[in-house]
Amino acid sequence: MLPEKTADVQFFTDRVHIRLITENDLELLRFWRNDETTRHFFFNSAIISNEQQIIWYNAYKRWNNDYQFIFSLRKNDELIPAGTFALYNIQGKVAEFGRALVVKQLRRKGIFFEACKCLFETAKKHFLIERVFLEVYSSNGRAIHVYQALGFIPSEPSESKIKMEKTL
Ligand SMILES: CC(C)(COP(=O)(O)OP(=O)(O)OC[C@H]1O[C@@H](n2cnc3c(N)ncnc32)[C@H](O)[C@@H]1OP(=O)(O)O)[C@@H](O)C(=O)NCCC(=O)NCCS
C-alpha cells in the first residue's frame, strides 16, 4: 500500500533532504516553474497563475498515487530548497517520474543526481515500485544525459519526445 501524504514522508542523504510539498511551497514552485529559461522544458509550458496552482494543489491532495517532492541541500543546520520532482500515476509496481527541475544556480552540482538516487531507493523499499518511466523532449540534452547517468534507458523514441525507463 502506498504511504499517506503526510509530513512523515521524508528521507535524506548526507547532502540532500527530500520531503513532500506543502501549501507553503506553492509560490516557490510556481516561481521556479514559470522561469522563462525553464518552462519551455515542460510539455505544458504556459505560465501558471496563482489561481491555477491552487486548483492543481487541491486536486493533487486528493490523488493518492501522486507524490510531489521538494528536495533541499543540507548545509550545516540549514535546508536550502534546491528543486522538485514527482512520482505520479503510480499503478501497482510502475510509476511515472517527472515535474522535475533544479534551481538555476544549483544546477550541475550533482544534487539532482543524488536526490533522484535517494528517491528511487525509497520508492523501491517503501512504495514497492519496481519500474519508473519518464518522457522528455528529445531536444533536452542535459536532462537526457542525467537520466542516462541514473540508469534510464530510452524505450520509445518519437520525433519530439523520448520515453525512458528504469528498473529499480
Ligand atoms: C535536467 C536538470 C534537472 C538536471 O539537473 P542538474 O543539476 O544538471 O543535474 P546534476 O548536476 O545532478 O547532474 C548530474 C551530473 O552529475 C553526474 N553525477 C553526479 N554524481 C554522480 C555519480 N555518483 N555517479 C555518476 N554520475 C554522477 C551525472 O552524470 C551528471 O554529469 P555531468 O554534470 O558531469 O555531465 C536541470 O538541468 C534542470 O532543472 N533543467 C530544467 C528543467 C528540466 O529540463 N527538467 C526536466 C524535464 S524532463
pTM above 0.85, yes or no: yes
Expressed in angstroms and rounded, the spacing between residue 78 Cα and the centre of ligand 1 is 23
In this structure, the strands spanning 94-102 and 131-137 are: parallel
Q: Is 115 helix (H, G, I), strand (E, B) or coil?
A: helix
pLDDT tens track, the chain, 168 positions:
899 999 999 999 999 999 999 999 999 999 999 999 999 999 999 999 999 999 999 999 999 999 999 999 999 989 999 999 999 999 999 999 999 999 999 999 999 999 999 999 999 999 999 999 999 999 999 999 999 999 999 987 777 999 999 999
Expressed in angstroms and rounded, the spacing between residue 146 Cα and the centre of ligand 1 is 4
Cα 94 from Cα 74, distance rounded (Å): 30
Please report, as a single letter, which amino acid is at residue 112.
F
Query: Could you give the domains of the chain?
Result: 10-167 (3.40.630.30)
Question: Hey, what's the cell of 139?
Answer: 531536444
What distance, in Å, lies between the first and last C-alpha atoms of the chain? Answer: 18
